[in-house]
């Protein structure tokens, strides 16, 4: 697929959760970056000097395209390019039967008082055990999950524990079905935020250990979306939190680079290993 076409397809579908990864066959990362600069690409282009990815998908011809669904199952792989076919495959892979309806909590919470999060969540299949959940973090820390209670019909709720005054709380919802793909809400790497009114001084907590597991978006699963986010960190388009910075350093060399994004992508495919696996 020509670079401008892939870029346009990525822009058309990225808000629905689509992730685009281009492979630079026999190109080092510097050459890949030149390609990115030439076409103003906003998706990763990863070096494949040793044919690691090409040998998994290639049929001896360029361009070669593969479509993988969110369960990491390849639904299409072939050389050549039929834009309508590719778009139809992507559209089918992004079909989302989970629907959310939630009014974000945007007020200032009272110190040490739980905040109840309520949402209407519809699915045509049962949810996986432990879902839906509210994931929350305090002052940019690690995300913690709270299982939501079924209130009847499609209504669910969960309490975010009370936090010390002056805290900032980010949260998002996630639902997973017994089959198919789970979905975060409002979207990948997106969340709502509220503050807590000043109260007693919080007790200091030690900084968590740095774990290099590759799960840069901290959603508990390693996917190509993590590789894309690490690439955004590497080129300065996104700023990681402390936990994301640790997670993104997949190879554990102390630097977030395109090499980490490539290693995460290969780990997702079962062809590599981060320093600390999930």
Is 26 a domain residue?
Answer: yes
pLDDT recorded at residue 161: 97
Specify if 201 maps to a domain.
no
> Which CATH number characterizes residue 170's domain?
2.60.40.10
114, 27: one domain: no
Q: Looking at residues 66-89, what average pLDDT do you find?
A: 83
154 versus 206: the higher-pLDDT residue is 154
In a domain, 141, yes or no: yes
Could you tell me which of 20, 69, 70 has the C-alpha nearest to residue 182?
70
**pLDDT reading at 1 higher than 60:** no
Is-cis flag, bond preceding 274, omega within 30?
no
Mean pLDDT of 87-93: 82
pLDDT at 201 over 70: no
How many domains does the chain contain in total?
3
- Higher-confidence residue of 11 and 148: namely 148
Question: Is 203 a domain residue?
Answer: no
Higher pLDDT, 96 or 83: 83
What number is the average pLDDT over the span 160-183? 90
| Residue with more model confidence, 162 or 77 | 162
Supply the angle between the helices 29-39 and 3-13 in degrees, to the nearest 10: 70
Decide which of 264 and 103 is more confident.
103
65: confidence class by pLDDT, cuts 50, 70, 90: confident
Q: Is residue 106 part of a domain?
A: yes
pLDDT in tens, 106-154: 899 999 999 999 999 988 788 999 999 999 999 999 999 999 999 999 9
- Percent of the chain with pLDDT strictly greater than 70: 93
The residue-averaged pLDDT of 238-247 equals: 88
Of the candidates 224, 223, 210, 229, the residue with the CA atom closest to the CA atom of residue 275: 210
Percent of residues in the chain assigned helix, strand, coil, to nearest 5: 25, 25, 50
Q: What percentage of the chain reaches a pLDDT higher than 90?
A: 31
Q: Does 182 fall in a domain?
A: yes
What is the pLDDT, as a whole number, of residue 134?
A: 97
Same domain, 64 and 146: no
Reply yes or no on whether the pLDDT at 96 is more than 60. Answer: no
- Label residue 97 by pLDDT band (50, 70, 90): low
Q: Which of 37, 63, 93 is the last residue of a domain?
A: 93
The DSSP string of 166-231 is T-EEEEEEEE-BSSS--EEES-TT--EEEEB---SPPPP-PPPPP---S-TT-SSS--HHHHHHHH
Residues in the chain: 278
Same domain, 108 and 189: yes
**How far is 120 from 36, CA to CA, in rounded Å?**
41
- Does some domain include residue 202? no
Nearest to 170 by CA among 217, 132, 131: 217
Letter string b/e over residues 38-59, b meaning 16 or more CB atoms within 10 A of that residue's CB: eeebbbbbbbbeeebbbeebbe
Give me the domain span that covers residue 158: 99-195
- 246 within a domain of the structure (yes/no): yes
**Rg, the chain, Cα only:** 20
Q: Within this chain, do residues 166 and 252 fall inside the same structural domain, yes or no?
A: no
């Amino acid at each position: 697929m020509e670079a401008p076409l892939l870029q346009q397809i990525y822009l058309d579908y990225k808000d629905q959760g689509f992730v685009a990864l281009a492979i630079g066959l026999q190109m080092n990362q510097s050459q890949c970056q030149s390609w990115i600069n030439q076409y103003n690409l906003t998706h990763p282009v990863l070096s494949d000097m040793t044919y690691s990815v090409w040998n998994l998908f290639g049929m001896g011809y360029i361009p070669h395209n593969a479509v993988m669904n969110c369960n990491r199952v390849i639904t299409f792989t072939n050389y050549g390019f039929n834009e309508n076919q590719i778009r139809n495959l992507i559209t089918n892979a992004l079909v989302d039967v989970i629907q959310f309806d939630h009014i974000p909590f945007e007020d200032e919470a009272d110190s040490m008082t739980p905040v109840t999060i309520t949402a209407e969540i519809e699915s045509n299949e049962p949810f996986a055990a432990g879902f839906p959940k509210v994931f929350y973090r305090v002052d940019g820390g690690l995300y913690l999950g709270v299982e939501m209670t079924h209130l009847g019909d499609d209504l669910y709720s969960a309490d975010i524990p009370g936090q010390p005054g002056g805290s900032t709380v980010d949260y998002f919802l996630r639902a997973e079905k017994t089959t198919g793909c789970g979905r975060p809400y409002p979207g990948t790497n997106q969340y709502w935020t509220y503050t807590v009114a000043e109260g007693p001084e919080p007790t200091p907590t030690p900084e968590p250990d740095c774990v290099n597991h590759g799960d840069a978006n901290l959603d508990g699963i390693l996917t190509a979306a993590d590789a894309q986010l690490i690439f955004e960190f590497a080129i300065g388009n996104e700023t990681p939190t402390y936990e994301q910075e640790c997670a993104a350093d997949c190879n554990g060399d102390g630097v977030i680079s395109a090499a980490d994004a490539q290693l995460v992508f290969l780990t997702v495919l079962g062809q590599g290993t981060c320093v600390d696996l999930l």
